[in-house]
Structure 1
């Protein structure tokens, strides 16, 4: 039995017509739909995000992560409270109970302390802890705004790929999306003896709708496709996109969230990656889209990496998210639950 070459690499899709709203966006949507059925992952080009902005974010992120750890801990997550923002050190984040070999900065939509949702103590809403690196705050906010705008356009494409109106997700879930953003650094250094670390990030699926990832030139992402584990190497000027568990639930399993992992960095140079999670509003109640041909909302928990049944979830998206993130940082669980 031979494996189709198409299954051994992720598709690269030029989304310019979708971003611009010009003729041809239906053809782009069809490519996205095919990718979501075959892989759950795809690259996007022609996305309109300024390359200079991405480079500036990389440069400033390197400046931040090169600071001494005691300096970075001035912005530690314990100080972010219910907003769930700030820095965590190497080994400070868990996947399936095992530490990942990376450090990072948690960010999200910037809300002032006077915002009604912050005043109401809504978890994962609030101000960011911006490190005191000149230009970092403005660059992070500009980048989040640009990639969030891309997320709206990609969700329109996903809606069209399902035979739905382009506004389907915005009208129900994402007119005010929950945006969570991460700056990750995978240092090229040995793991201390006796520390139970295997991966940069262990095998997992993402929780929400859509992840839009910038990875630098070093790479390390691997995806568990129907053809087995394959690498997703960096393509200059692209983002890697993947669908999450809530889109799997909405589509009744037609579009499956795909397990992926990140190799430990042995390149000799620090590696950066910037995932932005474009998710339903915290208060949204995720419902299955009725009438999708080919949908199969069976309990597939025995086949999943975490033995979870995403189709069994009912309630607010925010409750689902909090249950998940509290396993990533168990020491902060009391802050948000």
Structure 2
């Protein structure tokens, strides 16, 4: 694999943001620096119960160790417009190429009588949980609740880092955020790890606002910073945060979404827990005026696409992505 450089992704203690005490402006300044220079940062002092994380990892291993027929009982084809459930290895595409990973998609748990569900709003509804692992439901919902609270705290810090009112994102985008949670399992590689086809997920940027990732201790995440691929190794009881294309757009390119990729460097399964804290489905995504300038790095981006040419709501944008990630579900979701 490519050699890592000596660049270090910042590690930020966010306890002052989470608790609402101390000096949140100092934490915000560190987050702002990380967003401008790296697009990635680790967080510690986040307040998410470590035992909850470990229990979720345990039941996730239990789920993925099952035979494919059992896992397919909650296949995404049964999730309908809510876009929830299990997909097998190769079932998700990145840049048109099948990923070497399997996973389960979750979101905010909404019942059939919820207004958005009754209206048939895509990506809203109830989750699919395995009936033979009953504890997974409570663990997932507790985890997503804790991560949602953490997401609000981090967006407060990002608001402050931009010199805005601390409630800016909550007011304009995330009073009712779109919550997407993925548990991914990367099988032990059967191919030569030096080949490009061994990537669990190839080079990409996340398309939302803020990603909060929990890794197991396997390693394998790499981030492209200043044209160099560097490792983002796991740090115990930390999360890796990165900004997505929509925060890049909102900040007019001042906070750049950063390419990253994943492989499994071990001889056993690798788990990751990706939590996406995104704008409300119906929120128009508009840039903030920062120094009156938009920085568009279209020519340097991995996909040669501009996130600044988009016009519409976050839901409009997201649905365009759904059809590319899971083309076979396009009719159900759209």
TM bucket normalised to smaller:
over 0.9
Say if 1:36 and 1:255, in contact at 8 Å, map to a contact too.
yes
- How much has 1:302 moved relative to structure 2? 1.8
- How much has 1:207 moved relative to structure 2? 0.8
Please list the CA deviations of residues 65-124 of structure 1 after superposition, one character each: whole Å capped at 9, or x if unmatched. Answer: 001011000000000010000000011110001011000000000001121111111000
Say if 2:219 and 2:265, in contact at 8 Å, map to a contact too.
no
- How much has 1:227 moved relative to structure 2? 5.3
Say if 2:203 and 2:260, in contact at 8 Å, map to a contact too.
yes
Out of 298, 306, 310, the residue aligned to residue 301 of structure 1 is: 298
Alignment of 1:17-56 (within 5 A): 17-56=16-55
- How much has 1:35 moved relative to structure 2? 0.3
Instruction: Go from structure 1 to structure 2 and tell me whether the alpha carbon gap of 1:317 and 1:177 turns closer, same or farther (over 3 Å shift).
Output: same
- How much has 1:189 moved relative to structure 2? 4.0
Q: RMSD of the TM alignment (CA)?
A: 1.8
CA distance in 2, matches of 1:285, 1:49: 31
CA distance in 2, matches of 1:241, 1:295: 27
CA distance in 1, matches of 2:11, 2:291: 24
- How much has 1:202 moved relative to structure 2? 0.9
Question: Which residue pairs with 1:155 in the alignment?
Answer: 155
CA distance in 1, matches of 2:291, 2:184: 37
What is the TM-score normalised by the length of structure 1?
Answer: 0.94
Question: Which residue pairs with 1:248 in the alignment?
Answer: 248
Say if 1:254 and 1:294, in contact at 8 Å, map to a contact too.
no
Instruction: Go from structure 1 to structure 2 and tell me whether the alpha carbon gap of 1:117 and 1:259 turns closer, same or farther (over 3 Å shift).
Output: same
CA distance in 1, matches of 2:234, 2:139: 22
CA distance in 2, matches of 1:105, 1:115: 23
Question: Which residue pairs with 2:315 in the alignment?
Answer: 318
Alignment of 1:257-276 (within 5 A): 257-263=257-263, 265-276=264-275
Instruction: Go from structure 1 to structure 2 and tell me whether the alpha carbon gap of 1:34 and 1:172 turns closer, same or farther (over 3 Å shift).
Output: same
- How much has 1:7 moved relative to structure 2? 6.8
CA distance in 2, matches of 1:187, 1:33: 35
- How much has 1:294 moved relative to structure 2? 5.3
- How much has 1:44 moved relative to structure 2? 0.2
Say if 1:254 and 1:295, in contact at 8 Å, map to a contact too.
no
CA distance in 2, matches of 1:191, 1:315: 42
Question: Which residue pairs with 1:114 in the alignment?
Answer: 113
Alignment of 1:57-76 (within 5 A): 57-76=56-75
- How much has 1:23 moved relative to structure 2? 2.1
Question: Which residue pairs with 1:144 in the alignment?
Answer: 144
- How much has 1:208 moved relative to structure 2? 1.1
Say if 2:189 and 2:198, in contact at 8 Å, map to a contact too.
no
Give 3-state SS (helix, strand or coil) of 1:183's partner.
strand
CA distance in 2, matches of 1:26, 1:227: 30
What is the TM-score normalised by the length of structure 2?
Answer: 0.95
Say if 1:85 and 1:105, in contact at 8 Å, map to a contact too.
yes
Instruction: Go from structure 1 to structure 2 and tell me whether the alpha carbon gap of 1:295 and 1:107 turns closer, same or farther (over 3 Å shift).
Output: farther
Alignment of 1:180-195 (within 5 A): 180-190=180-190
Say if 2:102 and 2:184, in contact at 8 Å, map to a contact too.
yes
CA distance in 2, matches of 1:6, 1:154: 28
Say if 1:26 and 1:160, in contact at 8 Å, map to a contact too.
yes
Alignment of 1:182-221 (within 5 A): 182-190=182-190, 197-221=197-221
Number of corresponding residues: 328
Say if 1:103 and 1:185, in contact at 8 Å, map to a contact too.
yes
Unaligned runs of 5+ in 1: none
Question: Which residue pairs with 2:177 in the alignment?
Answer: 177
